[in-house]
Amino acid sequence: MNNDQTAGPDYVNRGFQYGDERPPPYAPVYPPLPSDHASDGVPQYTPSVINTHHPVTPAQAENPTTQRKERKRIQCRWILCAVVSVLAVLAVTGALLWYFLYYQCLLGKTCGDGGACLSASQWCDGVKDCSKGQDESQCFRLHGTNFLLQSYSPEGQTWRPVCAEDWNDQYGKATCEQIGYKRGDYVSSTQISVGSMAHGGYMKVKSGYTPGKYIQSLLKRSQSCTVPAVSLRCIECGVSDAAPRTRIVGGTQAVRGAWPWQVSLQINGQHVCGGSIISPYWILSAAHCFQTYSKPALWTVHSGHVSLAAMSWISSNKVERIINHKGYDPETSDNDIALLRLSTPLTFSREVRPVCLPNVGVNFSPGRQAWITGWGALRSQGSSPDTLMQAEVTIYSRDTCNREEVLDGKVTETMICAGKLEGGVDSCQGDSGGPLVAKEGQVWWLVGDTSWGIGCAWKNRPGIYGNVSYFIDWIYEQMKNY
């Protein structure tokens, strides 16, 4: 992770990174005048004038019965035209109603995939209205560094803290499972004070009520709570016993256990990309890593050590499924995120632990410090180390990184920009998919996954990472479905 000013920008973290005129109008040809018989009293031919707007023959004009039949035919044609017009108007009206009420769904929300449009009150009410249950998903979230549990209130269409009154661990386990974790990952439900966050009221357990399939069915809106709110820990995450405590310049070697969520993703024993442990079964990485090698059977996940050589002696985990974000664009690197589901779960230890997925309200604002880790090259097109490297970087705003002299508008909302504008610190080839993390509230949070960059550690060329906060709903949805 050194300064490299070789000429020529190079994308390095992509995963191995009318003519014819109209004819003249028809002119009728009349028979020639018999000039040699004019004096013989033969009548001269005089062409009759045809009314092209009403092609009625002289015989019809002279027959009243024929005229009545023709008027009836005309009336029928007018009636038919009127009926067709009305049907057309109805069809257009129906299409517009479908578009605005269902596709646009101005009166509520759609189930997705062309599904029904539901009223706002039908979302998170504990009753499955969408065929795939979309209306009852993402009804809980965790807020802030104290893991405040919030539930969506369909009446107020707002997020409210869950009152700890009558709450217990069984409810906690069911909620964590509905978010996307396994019951076996569950840690605890504790009580915390929420202060002004409860100004709109709480969601409270209904007394003597047994929940159905969805835990939100046991909650009701309440303006008060006699005890504090629920703090929910679904998994023990973000704990490091050996992470550096002081700022450093450039990259240094990490010690064992410093970044226990860091994994090496390998093919045939060779490191290809990095990744982050987020649960015993799930690894988060970058979609671009799996464009060429997309079969899960090719990949193994190695963890538990800072040395690649040492990890070759430690048992690895096979990959059962690779889930790339459907919106991933290899041209722009938009939506560069992927999830790997393991065939067997990881065994957690001091050296193997998950990083915390970002809660709503956790501070990753521009200007704060974060850390990058990986086994990537130490300079552009350079060799890669055997020992895991670590470096501290600064998170920058998209406005800063999109300046013309920096990355010239290439950073989208699905991305996080971090590094050093003065150069000298950056991720590089082989770091792809690895973590960008920040510490807040005594735990480490996964801010991004290494996506792309121009050169390595160049001035005005910070690295780009997938914005994990942007994808959090997508992540939990995949974890819940598999």
Q: At what angle do helices 472-481 and 169-179 cross, to 10 degrees?
A: 100
Q: Is 180 left (phi over 0), alpha (psi -120 to 50) or beta?
A: left
Q: Which of 223, 220, 247, 234 lies closest to 176, judged by CA?
A: 234
- Token reading at 42: 């033969």
Count other C-beta atoms under 10 Å from residue 347's C-beta: 11
CA distances (Å), origin 350, targets 182, 257, 259, 278: 21, 6, 10, 15
Q: Which residue has the tokens 């059977």?
A: 297
Judge whether 432 counts as a catalytic residue.
yes
C-alpha count within 13 angstroms, C-beta hemisphere, residue 459: 5
Judge whether 365 counts as a catalytic residue.
no
Burial 176-208 (b: 16+ CB within 10 A, else e): bbbbbbbeebbbebeebebeebbeebbbbbeee
Catalytic residue among 288, 302, 305, 325: 288
Catalytic residue among 189, 427, 432, 451: 432
Judge whether 288 counts as a catalytic residue.
yes
CA 37/CA 39 separation, integer angstroms: 5
Catalytic residue among 125, 135, 336, 431: 336
Q: Which of 454, 470, 434, 446 lies closest to 327, judged by CA?
A: 470
In 10-114 the beta strands, taken as DSSP E runs, fall at 108-110
The DSSP bridge partners found for residue 319 are 342
DSSP of 228-286:
-EEEEESS--S--SS---S--SS-EEPPTTSSTTEEEEEETTEEEEEEEEEETTEEEE-
CA 431/CA 357 separation, integer angstroms: 20
Please say whether the dihedral angle defined by the alpha carbons of residues 326, 136, 184 and 360, taken in this order, is positive or negative. Answer: positive
Residues carrying an active site annotation? 288, 336, 432
